[in-house]
Amino acid sequence: MITSNRLLLAGDIGATKTALALYDAAGFPEPPLRQQTYRNALFSCFDDLLLEFLHQNAPQPTSACFGVAGPVRANAVKMTNLNWSITGDALQARHGFARVELQNDLVTTAMGAIHLPATDLHPLNLGVPEAGGVMAVLAPGSGLGEAFLVHHHGAYHPYPSEGGHASFAPRNGEQMDLLAFMLKRHPHVSVERVCSGLAIPELFAFMTTRHQVPAWLLAELEGATDRTPVIIQAALHALQGKRACDIAVHTLALLVDILADEAANLALKTLALGGLFLGGGLAPRLLPFLTPERFLPIFTRGAYHDLLSRIPIQVICNPHTALLGAAHGAATLDQDSGQTANV
């Protein structure tokens, strides 16, 4: 039941679906009053989806923050994998919000991550976190998102990065062969090209040059509109002893190796001594492959082995982390508006 005169609206706008939640500003961070997820394909634009959620005669929120899958400039974004353009000022004017802020979805994921309870995090390395140290987020999903948080004036502030589009650097002979394979398909091979959900079919294609594809898996792949979940399921079932599938296991093992190396790159470039989070939709699904025994020897490589070994690493298991971060963004907007009104 809505009890406050001030409502907060939070959103996580992805390429295929959007989650929206409404909070009582006076009770935040209590659970949302209402939360709903929509398929983006059912709407021609975000405005139509938002109207569906808000309802014409329902109480309207005062402050809104949306995490969006795309680069945000001047409170506006053209989404990367969806033909939607969203402008914060236009939303504010149309819906009567006091404040609207658009943030990159990795920024909201980063903010959400630091507010998660321990039960929503799976530790890979306990480490020794440095108080006030930079924290970083690496999120393999459809693509590969990166962000970091800097401690300033007693609070953490998230910042976006497009590091997932930096060039892929192979670390051994197998990965050198992978790079050569990928360069025949793409003019530039970013880390995202070989370390994301979209990358899995390409890693699998590379593995077909080294391993045979079982007939049953070939049949499943031929009938699938999306090969990624088929390959992931085959690999997980193989680990569980249900049905052997060396090629699928090697595919995901290669992805995890690349992820561990990129995690170390991000940690070193941001000096993330406060900790590293692995988020996105893919990391929690790959937990059977994300073992300390496999991940940490790659992560702690090189001249800064001792420093890297002290960095806590945790896998985010809450699928609504970005929504939680957006809610904190909306709460901050609400507080700032209140302070301004009192001046």
Give the confidence band of 338 by pLDDT, cuts at 50, 70, 90. low
Give the confidence band of 82 by pLDDT, cuts at 50, 70, 90. confident
Mean pLDDT of 17-29: 92
Mean pLDDT over each residue of the chain, to the nearest integer = 93
Residue 342: the pLDDT is 43
**What backbone phi and psi angles, to 5 degrees, belong to 311?**
-85, 120
What are the pLDDT digits (tens) for 170-187? 999 999 999 999 999 999
* Beta strand pairing call for 313-316 and 275-278: parallel
Mean pLDDT of 174-201: 97
Q: Are 92 and 183 in contact (CB under 8 A)?
A: no
Give the confidence band of 1 by pLDDT, cuts at 50, 70, 90. very low
What are the pLDDT digits (tens) for 250-286? 999 999 999 999 999 999 999 999 999 999 999 999 9
Q: What is the pTM of this model?
A: 0.91
Give the confidence band of 81 by pLDDT, cuts at 50, 70, 90. confident
Is the pLDDT at 114 greater than 60? The verdict is yes
Q: Are 120 and 82 in contact (CB under 8 A)?
A: no
Mean pLDDT of 42-69: 89
Residue 343: the pLDDT is 36
**What backbone phi and psi angles, to 5 degrees, belong to 262?**
-70, -35
Q: Are 311 and 275 in contact (CB under 8 A)?
A: yes
* Burial classification of residue 319, based on how many CB atoms lie within 10 Å of its CB (0-12 exposed, 13-18 middle, 19 or more buried): middle
Is the pLDDT at 77 greater than 80? The verdict is yes
The percentage of residues in the chain with a pLDDT greater than 90, rounded to a whole number, is 86
Is the pLDDT at 54 greater than 80? The verdict is yes
Nearest to 108 by CA among 137, 133, 129, 85: 137
Give the least confident one: 75-84, 292-301, 307-316.
Answer: 75-84
How many other C-beta atoms are found inside a 10 Å radius of the C-beta of residue 226? 11
Give the confidence band of 5 by pLDDT, cuts at 50, 70, 90. low
Give the least confident one: 80-94, 107-121, 315-329.
Answer: 80-94
DSSP-assigned letter for residue 190: B
Residue 2: the pLDDT is 40
Give the least confident one: 181-195, 258-272, 328-342.
Answer: 328-342
Residue 112: the pLDDT is 96
Is the pLDDT at 117 greater than 50? The verdict is yes
Is the pLDDT at 201 greater than 50? The verdict is yes
How many other C-beta atoms are found inside a 10 Å radius of the C-beta of residue 74? 9
Residue 3: the pLDDT is 41
Give the confidence band of 67 by pLDDT, cuts at 50, 70, 90. very high
Residue 126 C-beta-side C-alpha neighbours within 13 Å: 0
Task: Walk me through the domains of the chain, giving residue ranges and CATH numbers.
Answer: 7-103+320-342 (3.30.420.40), 117-317 (3.40.367.20)
Give the least confident one: 56-65, 124-133, 143-152, 305-314.
Answer: 56-65
Give the confidence band of 57 by pLDDT, cuts at 50, 70, 90. low
* Beta strand pairing call for 63-68 and 144-152: unpaired
**Cα 190 to Cα 251: distance, rounded to the nearest angstrom:** 18
The three-state secondary structure class of 121 is strand
Is the pLDDT at 340 greater than 60? The verdict is no
Residue 103: the pLDDT is 96
Between the CA of residue 157 and those of 219, 317, 318, 335, what are the distances in Å?
48, 22, 21, 16
**Cα 316 to Cα 114: distance, rounded to the nearest angstrom:** 10
Distance, first Cα to last Cα, the chain: 32
